[in-house]
């Protein structure tokens, strides 16, 4: 006879078991499906959890940075939308490491602000911008997996937070300068430790694994399970997704190959530099070229050529 403890354990495991769904990745959905008004509820759910307020997407904004190109194989996705408060939200997903990403991000945010400030407008027409970055590489140095950047003004001596004046607060319905300046949110997906602390972590889990456990109930995830199910899509859409995954794999392989080749070249350059320094040091110590060649495992002609290039001997 099975004990109540074992039955309870079985029920718990059944509750926690994953539903077997074939979901499409968020990056591909953002490139295509999430731009459709019928799927705004998915986008609204993600943004609401990310920004900790109920977000209503009014429209997808078409701009040069938001166009979809058929030859875009490097999985760099931009979703540009406007919410019901006329604020602009810019979402970018990137898989591959970019050393100057912070600089690029600074440029992208500045461009969004300037593109929507037309000649003749007063400065109070500058729109609030949110930049949300979903990154699958380790940007910068930090142990967390979600970072939120705001423009806060702190006193150097009194350490107080600068607020808008009463007149400014009444006019703009904002309290701090940070309510006007852009905000940047960075998701470092690979840093996520798979521990669900908040409802936002449920979204991070989906972004990392493209899976949804039964018990997940964050805003928008129920719509994800229904609308991003590959098995329920038509054949043409399924084929487009499969082709997309192939292109991603090809791109990843190409980048990895170039990176590996660069590392090998770097090692070779490093070894050559060490040998040159060794040759120069041994030569200054009066060691004959024949001995230097033996120590460095180079030919005597190679050693002699290096010494000539460095101006240590003449031909």
DSSP string, 136-177: SS--SS-S-SEEEE----B-SSS-PBP---HHHHHHH--SSG
Domain co-membership, 281 together with 224: no
Q: What does the pLDDT read at residue 237?
A: 87
Is residue 250 in a domain?
no
Domain co-membership, 135 together with 283: no
Domain co-membership, 61 together with 131: yes
Domain co-membership, 96 together with 199: yes
Query: Which tops the pLDDT comparison, 101 or 281?
Result: 101
Average pLDDT in the 193-209 region? 94
Is residue 38 in a domain?
yes
Domain co-membership, 139 together with 218: yes
Reading the block at residue 199, the tokens are 């409802």
Closest by CA to 228, choosing from 45, 17, 14, 15, is 45
Q: Is the pLDDT of residue 226 over 70?
A: yes
Domain co-membership, 214 together with 292: no
Domain co-membership, 219 together with 141: yes
Is residue 14 in a domain?
no
Is residue 9 in a domain?
no
Which pairing describes strands 88-94 and 129-135: parallel, antiparallel, or unpaired?
A: parallel
Domain co-membership, 293 together with 173: no
Q: Which CATH number characterizes residue 267's domain?
A: 1.10.10
Total domain count, the chain: 2
Q: Is the pLDDT of residue 225 over 60?
A: yes
Domain co-membership, 197 together with 76: yes
Reading the block at residue 97, the tokens are 């490491």
pLDDT 10s digits, 248-295: 776 666 556 656 666 666 666 667 777 888 888 888 877 888 888 877
Is residue 248 in a domain?
no
CA distance 289 to 145: 56
Domain co-membership, 198 together with 68: yes
Is residue 6 in a domain?
no
Is residue 243 in a domain?
no
Burial class of residue 70 (count of CB atoms within 10 Å of its CB; 0-12, 13-18, 19+)? exposed
Number of C-beta neighbours around residue 143 at 10 A: 7
Return the sign of the alpha-carbon dihedral for residues 264, 266, 267, 271: positive
Query: Whole domain around residue 99: which residue ranges?
Result: 20-233
Is residue 198 in a domain?
yes
Domain co-membership, 302 together with 198: no
Domain co-membership, 105 together with 206: yes
pLDDT 10s digits, 119-169: 667 888 889 999 999 999 899 999 999 999 999 999 999 999 999 999 999
């Amino acid at each position: 006879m099975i004990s109540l403890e074992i039955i309870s354990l079985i029920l718990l495991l059944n509750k926690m078991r994953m539903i077997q769904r074939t979901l499409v990745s968020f990056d591909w959905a953002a490139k295509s499906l999430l731009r459709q008004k019928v799927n705004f509820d998915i986008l609204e759910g993600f943004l609401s959890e990310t920004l900790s307020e109920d977000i209503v997407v009014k429209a997808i904004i078409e701009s040069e940075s938001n166009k979809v190109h058929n030859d875009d194989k490097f999985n760099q996705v931009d979703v540009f939308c406007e919410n019901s408060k006329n604020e602009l939200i810019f979402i970018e997903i990137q898989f591959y490491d970019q050393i100057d990403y912070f600089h690029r991000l600074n440029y992208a945010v500045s461009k969004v602000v300037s593109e929507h400030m037309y000649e003749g407008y007063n400065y109070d027409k500058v729109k609030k911008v949110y930049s949300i970055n979903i990154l699958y590489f380790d940007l910068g140095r930090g142990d967390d997996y979600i970072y939120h950047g705001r423009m806060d003004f702190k006193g150097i001596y009194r350490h107080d937070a600068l607020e808008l004046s009463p007149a400014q607060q009444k006019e703009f319905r904002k309290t701090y300068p940070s309510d006007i300046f852009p905000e940047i949110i960075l998701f470092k997906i690979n840093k996520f430790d798979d521990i669900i602390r908040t409802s936002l972590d449920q979204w991070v889990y989906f972004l990392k694994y493209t899976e949804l456990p039964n018990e997940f109930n964050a805003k928008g995830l129920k719509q994800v399970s229904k609308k991003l199910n590959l098995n329920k899509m038509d054949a043409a859409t399924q084929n487009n997704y499969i082709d997309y995954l192939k292109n991603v794999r090809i791109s990843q392989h190409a980048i990895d190959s170039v990176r590996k080749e660069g590392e090998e070249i770097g090692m070779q350059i490093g070894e050559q530099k060490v040998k040159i320094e060794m040759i120069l040091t041994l030569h200054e110590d009066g060691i004959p070229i024949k001995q230097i060649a033996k120590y460095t495992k180079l030919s005597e002609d190679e050693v002699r050529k290096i010494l000539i290039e460095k101006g240590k001997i003449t031909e």
